[in-house]
A = this chain, B = another copy of it.
């Protein structure tokens, strides 16, 4: 705590939040973080490292367990951890960040051919469908009582609603975009869509 401890990140607090629900082993944390982690992408190695950082900050405690020949460490939140988690929840949120490889390809699609553009749009649609499927799995588990935290269903409803909205909107966009592009002779000669741009500027979608 005193000397060199790394700065806590959103991942740190996400892990701390999971520990706030119940104690977890590193592997469980990695699984859960991946599952709920549609909202925050990060490398697995970082997730595995966070519990140690939390202990160094005094926000979590570690207990050794033996599970056959395998040594495990089970981490729990400390009272200081709970306080710090509440403090974080009251911090202003940082701006969302994205990495949409497919949309970057759409953005420069006039330097390639039409097939590639349609492929990028299709990639967005496929991702939307995977996103919807993921949301369906989670909501299904909650309705059948397969979930470890039934009393969190109202919170899960909020977050999964956003996921479903994102998936639905992306599908609508992909359908519309595909139709547009199919009517173009090629990628660098589309119609100048003055009315579309006006509409978009006013915050209205074309679908």
Chain A interface (Cβ < 8 Å from any Cβ of B): 10, 13-14, 17, 20-21, 36, 38-41, 82, 85-86, 88-90, 92-113, 115-116, 119-120, 123-124, 127, 132, 135-136, 139-140, 142-143, 150-162, 164-170, 172-173, 176-177, 180-181, 184, 187-188, 190-194, 196-198, 200-207
Contacts and interface: CB of A to CB of B under 8 A. Distances in A.
A164 B153 CA distance: 30
A19 to B, nearest CB: 10
Query: Which 10 A-B pairs rank lowest in CB-CB distance, beginning with the nearest?
Result: A154-B190, A89-B112, A17-B108, A93-B102, A41-B97, A93-B123, A39-B103, A139-B197, A139-B201, A39-B100
Contacts of A190: 153-155, 157
A104 B88 CA distance: 11
A13 B90 contact: no
B111 A20 contact: yes
A160 B170 CA distance: 13
A184 to B, nearest CB: 7
Contact of A155 (B110, B113, B173): B110
**Copies, count:** 2
A14 B105 CA distance: 8
11 contacts: A10-B99, A40-B104, A86-B112, A89-B105, A89-B108, A89-B109, A155-B187, A157-B180, A158-B181, A161-B200, A165-B207
Given A111-B86, A136-B203, A201-B136, A161 B97 contact: no
A191 to B, nearest CB: 6
Contact of A107 (B101, B108, B155): B155
Contact of A162 (B103, B167, B197): B103
Contacts of A38: 98
Contacts of A164: 200, 203-205
A161 B175 CA distance: 12
Given A90-B112, A104-B39, A119-B92, A157 B98 contact: no
